[in-house]
């Protein structure tokens, strides 16, 4: 593809979701960059020269106030349109993480209005990670979403599984559904069903990647699609995709920073604790003296790296549901805010001590860490798991980093210990 002609633009509601979508586009042969925040005019010029096929704008809007989420998403769309993108992907979590008010519906409404589109599919399915939609209901690894660990999410507890029912309170538009039997009837039948559906948003069943391929085929002319990143894997592979250049490896210390409370991350922490030097964040200590606690963690990490160069350290927030604070003490900040600030502080302090490779778990945590490091753009490297890749980025001060931004629910049990092999 010629420089300056960008085929796809993605608007992602968190940083892990952005790299998730980028990972899947790269898997289909698209040259893809992730910008961390809305790109400036100068950054847009650099992207044009780089000859990208796709660009994802990573935002931190999943749990932001609705107006803020909409404003940032529209700004991202405007930047992508100025970049020359012709199709757009509204990327949200494959477990439809949201509250009854938003932000999935309000953001999608705003993007639709900006593009002048009259319909958009809703496709949370990502079968490679166990997310499927059948008869309009979202399943996580064979369980209904409402019966999964997402029911206990501290920020967006998911207590229902019907995707249309989840979306309707968030949007001013009608929401329709198309069942799996129509998808399996083929492209013509699915296109006709979407066109005839009595709804601006059309939730489409998909339980495997062949279903995603059909959906991708029939939406090839649609200006906007919405969903998890799985639909990107339905795109046909680019036949003449150039060989991907090797990702630069930034030499330096290694750290895992895990703020996610998801069941997958808790299992990964349990595994990593058997192999890595580790420290759990102490909420009481953070409330008493957060900068001092970050300083103590940095001194500990530096000692670990001195004893065992090349070995990662693990700093984490949650290892059981009992750690989830129902409500902060009177007059105190919520635990989630303290955790984000502490892990962002660890990232900058660890970087000052020589850390250059970070594996980060959790969307909110990833956003805080990358912003703290002042990295503005990522180029994707080797995949670690479905939806998770290493990436390379350079901060404003010139420091280069390798970053793997992992959604809390993604990754194999040993990702915190085995994930470093790709950087050897």
Read off the pLDDT of residues 49-66 as tens digits, 9 standing for 90 and up.
788 899 999 999 998 999
List, in sequence order, every beta strand (DSSP E) within 180-282. Answer: 201-204, 224-227, 253-258, 277-280
Residue-level pLDDT at 165: 95
Residue-level pLDDT at 3: 47
CA distance 15 to 62: 10
Q: CA-CA distances (angstroms) from residue 175 to 178, 191, 204, 215, 379? A: 10, 16, 11, 17, 36
Residue-level pLDDT at 51: 83
% pLDDT > 70, the chain: 96
Residue 407 has pLDDT above 80, yes or no: yes
- Residue 134 neighbours by CB under 8 Å, 6+ apart: 180, 205, 207
What's the average model confidence in pLDDT over 389-416? Answer: 95
Where is average pLDDT lowest: 16-30, 133-147, 234-248, 386-400? 234-248
Six token digits for residue 203: 């939730």
Cβ-contact 62, 68 below 8 angstroms? no
Residue 14 has pLDDT above 60, yes or no: yes
- Residue 120 neighbours by CB under 8 Å, 6+ apart: 90, 108, 112, 200, 201, 202, 222, 224, 225, 226
Residue-level pLDDT at 209: 95
Where is average pLDDT lowest: 50-54, 301-305, 365-369? 50-54
Cis peptide before 103 (omega within 30 of 0): yes
Distance between first and last Cα of the chain: 32
Where is average pLDDT lowest: 190-204, 236-250, 382-396, 404-418? 236-250
DSSP 149: G
Other Cβ atoms less than 10 A from the Cβ of 371: the count is: 17
Cβ-contact 112, 369 below 8 angstroms? no
Residue-level pLDDT at 241: 67
Six token digits for residue 94: 């494959």
DSSP 403: E
Residue-level pLDDT at 332: 84
Pair type for strands 137-140 and 131-134: antiparallel
Residue-level pLDDT at 187: 98
Residue 147 pLDDT level (bands cut at 50, 70, 90): confident
Residue listed under structure tokens 């967006």: 156
Residue-level pLDDT at 244: 64
Residue-level pLDDT at 158: 74
Partnered with residue 361 across adjacent β-strands are 258, 406
Residue-level pLDDT at 2: 42
3-state secondary structure of 397: coil
3-state secondary structure of 38: coil
Cβ-contact 402, 381 below 8 angstroms? yes
Residue-level pLDDT at 409: 87
Residue 354 has pLDDT above 80, yes or no: yes
Domains with residue ranges and CATH for the chain:
8-234 (3.40.50.10840), 253-423 (3.40.980.20)
Residue 1 has pLDDT above 90, yes or no: no
What's the average model confidence in pLDDT over 157-167? Answer: 89
Average pLDDT over the chain, rounded to whole? 93
Residue 349 pLDDT level (bands cut at 50, 70, 90): very high
Residue 362 pLDDT level (bands cut at 50, 70, 90): very high
pTM of the model: 0.90
Residue-level pLDDT at 150: 75
CA distance 7 to 412: 32
What's the average model confidence in pLDDT over 18-41? Answer: 94
């Amino acid at each position: 593809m010629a420089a300056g002609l960008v085929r796809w633009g993605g608007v992602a509601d968190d940083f892990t979701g952005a790299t998730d979508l980028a990972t899947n586009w790269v898997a289909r042969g698209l040259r893809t960059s992730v910008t961390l925040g809305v790109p400036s005019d100068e950054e847009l010029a650099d992207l044009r020269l780089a000859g990208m096929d796709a660009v994802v704008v990573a935002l931190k809007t999943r749990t932001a106030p609705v107006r803020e989420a909409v404003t940032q998403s529209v700004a991202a769309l405007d930047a992508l349109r100025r970049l020359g993108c012709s199709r757009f992907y509204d990327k949200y979590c494959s477990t439809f993480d949201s509250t009854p008010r938003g932000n999935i519906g309000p953001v999608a409404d705003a993007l639709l209005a900006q593009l002048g589109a009259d319909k958009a599919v809703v496709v949370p399915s990502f079968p490679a990670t166990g997310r499927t939609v059948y008869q309009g209901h979202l399943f996580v690894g064979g369980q209904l979403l409402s019966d999964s660990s997402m029911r206990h999410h501290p920020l967006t507890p998911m207590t229902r599984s019907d995707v249309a029912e989840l979306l309707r309170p968030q949007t001013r538009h009608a929401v329709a559904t198309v069942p799996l039997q129509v998808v399996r009837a083929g492209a013509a039948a699915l296109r006709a069903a979407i066109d005839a559906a009595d709804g601006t948003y059309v939730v489409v069943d998909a339980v495997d990647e062949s279903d995603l391929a059909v959906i991708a085929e029939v939406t090839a002319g649609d200006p906007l699609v919405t969903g998890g990143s799985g639909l990107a894997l339905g795109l046909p592979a680019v036949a003449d995709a150039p060989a991907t250049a090797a990702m630069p490896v930034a030499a330096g210390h290694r750290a895992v920073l895990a703020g996610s409370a998801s069941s997958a991350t808790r299992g990964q922490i349990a595994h990593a604790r058997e192999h890595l030097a580790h420290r759990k964040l102490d909420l009481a200590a953070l409330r008493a003296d957060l900068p001092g606690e970050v300083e103590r963690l940095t001194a500990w990490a530096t000692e670990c790296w001195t004893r065992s160069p090349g070995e990662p350290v693990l700093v984490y927030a949650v290892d059981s549901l009992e750690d989830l604070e129902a409500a902060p003490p009177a007059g105190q900040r919520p635990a989630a805010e303290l955790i984000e600030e502490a892990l962002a502080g660890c990232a900058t302090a660890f970087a000052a001590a020589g850390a250059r490779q970070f594996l980060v778990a959790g969307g909110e945590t990833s956003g805080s860490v990358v912003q703290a490091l002042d990295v503005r753009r990522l180029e994707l490297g080797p995949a670690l798991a479905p939806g998770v890749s290493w990436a390379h980025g350079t901060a404003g001060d010139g420091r280069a980093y390798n970053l793997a931004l992992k959604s809390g629910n993604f990754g194999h049990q040993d990702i915190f210990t085995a994930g470093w092999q790709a950087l050897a």
